[in-house]
Amino acid sequence: MGWSTADIPDLGGRTAVITGANGGLGSETARELARKGAHVVMAVRDLKKASAARDSIARQTPGASLELIALDLGSLASVRSAATSILAAHPVIDILVNNAGVMGIPHGTTSDGIETQFGVNHLGHFALTALLLPAVARSDGGRIVCITSPARLFSSAIDPDDPTMAARYDAWRSYGRSKLAMLQFAVELDRRLGAAGATAHALAADPGFSHTDLQANSARQHRGMSQRFFAATVGLVGSSPATGALPQLRAATDPTTRGGELYALRFVVGGSPIRNPYLSRSMGSADLERSWSAWERMTGLRFDVAQIVRTAGRASAGPTEGGSTTELGEALVS
């Protein structure tokens, strides 16, 4: 028998933050973590849609502990505001699932002038993780899960001087580039956590070919032939959101997993979640270092993992006057 949601341990007393928890993989992840007793912070852009998802989970799981936080990953100001609110209420975060994203859309830019797919899928999560890491570092065995995609396999090697493909934008290659960056992030973040002596770990999860609203939204926005084709195909052969969420649920909760690992469905559209090889470009140590420096430059954050781990324990274990639980995150701004 492979791993399933029945293998998720009791999460009573634990706090989980999930981006994009208003639908698809995010709401399924929120549902299962809440069912196992975690307090789940649903960090979302669409509060109305998230309210419906929260109410659905609450009906199915009486006693579920759920909380909504407004988060627009396409705005670094919104990321900072959301992180400040989360830290004020939750000085310890046990699970952070960087799940939200957009896919295969026309060229656009975030409010900070960054290409939309790279900005929302990756850089918004990079900044959010940097700001929330003090709370994750205080958890005994905290987990950070970064969601990648099979599309990373079709991405060209990342050019740190042009990571968003500004000079030659292509909707699908840009999406793959953003998801390759998420895999890079998980691996390099875990290496830095280990070097700093942290008990927290970072892992990556690949949902495979899962039928969520991503494909339909892509087809609505782009109206290209490939977007319409994938939207139709995933409806026929794609896995359900519940199945697609299994890799990130295992990465977030299975005590036998190790940091830096990638989990994916055994058969891409089904099967149990298993540890997978990366099989991706730009995964050498020099590549990861260069990419990290580029992400810091693009977000304006100095993401010093060792410093955060070293100083995280000095903050109060509970909310304090003056917001001292957020000062560690604020200190990251260069």
Amino acid at 96: L
72 vs 69: CA distance, rounded Å: 10
Q: What is the DSSP string of 8-55?
A: PPP-TT-EEEEETTTSHHHHHHHHHHHHTT-EEEEEES-HHHHHHHHH
**Residues in CB range of 236: below 8 A, 6 or more apart:** none
| Cα 234 to Cα 306: distance, rounded to the nearest angstrom | 42
Considering 169, 175, 263, 278, which one is annotated as catalytic?
A: 175
Which DSSP state fits 88?
H
Active site residue 263: no
Please, what's the b/e burial string for 66-82 (b: 16 or more CB within 10 A of its CB; e: otherwise)? bbbbebbbbbbebbbeb
Residue 68 in tokens: 């909504």
Q: Catalytic residue positions? A: 175
